[in-house]
Amino acid sequence: MRVLAAMSGGVDSAVAAALAVEAGHDVVGVHMALSRNRDQFRSGSRGCCSIEDAGDARRAADVLGIPYYVWDLSERFEDTVVADFLAEYEAGRTPNPCVRCNEHIKFEALLDKATALGFDAVATGHYAQVVLRTAPDGTEVRELHRSPNTAKDQSYVLAVMGPDRLRRAMFPLGGFASKDEVRAEAAARGLSVSAKPDSYDICFVADGDTQGFLRDRLGARPGAIVDTEGTVLGEHDGAYAYTVGQRKGLALGRPAADGRPRYVLDVQPVSNTVVVGPVELLTVDRLVGDRAVWFADDVLAAAPDDGWFDAEVQVRAHGAPVAARARAVDDRSGVEVELVGDGLRGIAPGQSLVLYAGTRVLGESTVVSANRARGRVS
């Protein structure tokens, strides 16, 4: 197959490209330039997609003996991922830019361009597995599954791609059980990135100051911080800088009457108000999502007349899955999830929820509401 290897400049994508070459594929490496600031440099483990990273990717491609190109996707990245990030925070929601990058950049802009150029698949350094299953009608179905490397599993942020794009995706690192194994593979092949630190945080907020980034882009918008009764407790410079579940940085000046910590319960963009309260009010037992993506036609078809089926739900990239019941709604464009047990804390609109059956991804959706479990203290 002709395979386009997305090479970020890190060890994972370099080893993924190497494995694709060794599997006998005709591989071309490409680095996506996502920053409009060509002088941007990585700061230790913060940031990515810098000039430094592009150079590391080129050196890896040279070692592998494959052609290498840099594609400028910075305008597309700004207009989709960054714009969505700002719009979601401005609307009082908490986005996941890694999910949107996979949706709009890696498995849309990159994949579509690769297809137009005659490539059969795009290989990335994500930690996830594609498992083949034969459907009752004899057709082959590709399922997205967790990586055995549970600490690095990225199926949560990949679920947004959907089954059609999964057919043209390759994850050569899917079977690796640890990052140490991947680094050893890189060192054995003479790849200089074998000891390069992983990148963390939001790639376009390289200094890690998300509130500062939002303030620079959205400006100061003073408003009130109130309790659940509407009593004003303090002020803020922009409700967009707060997220449900946040405890630090409230700067209320005086403790609650009972001396207990207070957490952000709600962000109300229309009134520019932040609502705070005790931790038990963060517990929710029902989630509703929209923009649903499904990998589970068989599960949905086998559900009873009311549509409910058993699953596990995960609401953070490295969060633990919890038992739940779920069903597709609104002609499969949305999902309802009822949590089993003690519920979850601090779920904000805008977060991604991913449904699993064991290691298999069933579907993904964006949280639009999280119903508080009143009276329940977890």
Burial degree of 86 (CB within 10 A; 0-12, 13-18, 19+): middle
CA distances (Å), 21 to each of 5, 16, 35, 130, 244, in order?
Answer: 10, 9, 28, 19, 45
Is residue 76 a contact partner of residue 35, using CB atoms and an 8 Å limit? no
Between helix 179-188 and helix 11-22 the angle, nearest 10°, is 60
**125 labelled as ligand-binding?**
yes
Question: What are the φ and ψ backbone dihedral angles of 94, each rounded to 5 degrees?
Answer: -120, 100
**170 labelled as ligand-binding?**
no
- Alpha-carbon distance 293 to 355, whole Å? 10
**1 labelled as ligand-binding?**
no
Is residue 63 a contact partner of residue 188, using CB atoms and an 8 Å limit? no
- Alpha-carbon distance 53 to 46, whole Å? 12
**11 labelled as ligand-binding?**
yes
Annotated catalytic residue within 48, 49, 98, 101: 101
Annotated catalytic residue within 48, 49, 98, 203: 203
Rg from Cα positions in the chain: 22
**232 labelled as ligand-binding?**
no
Reading the block at residue 54, the tokens are: 């592009």
101 tagged catalytic = yes
Q: Give the DSSP H or E segment for 182.
A: helix 179-188
Q: Give the DSSP H or E segment for 89.
A: helix 83-90
Which residues make Cβ contacts (< 8 Å) with residue 305, sequence separation at least 6?
Answer: none
**199 labelled as ligand-binding?**
no
Furthest-apart CA atoms within the chain: distance in Å: 68
* Binding-site positions: 6-13, 32, 125
- The binding site for ATP consists of 6-13, 32, 125
**Active-site residue set:** 101, 203
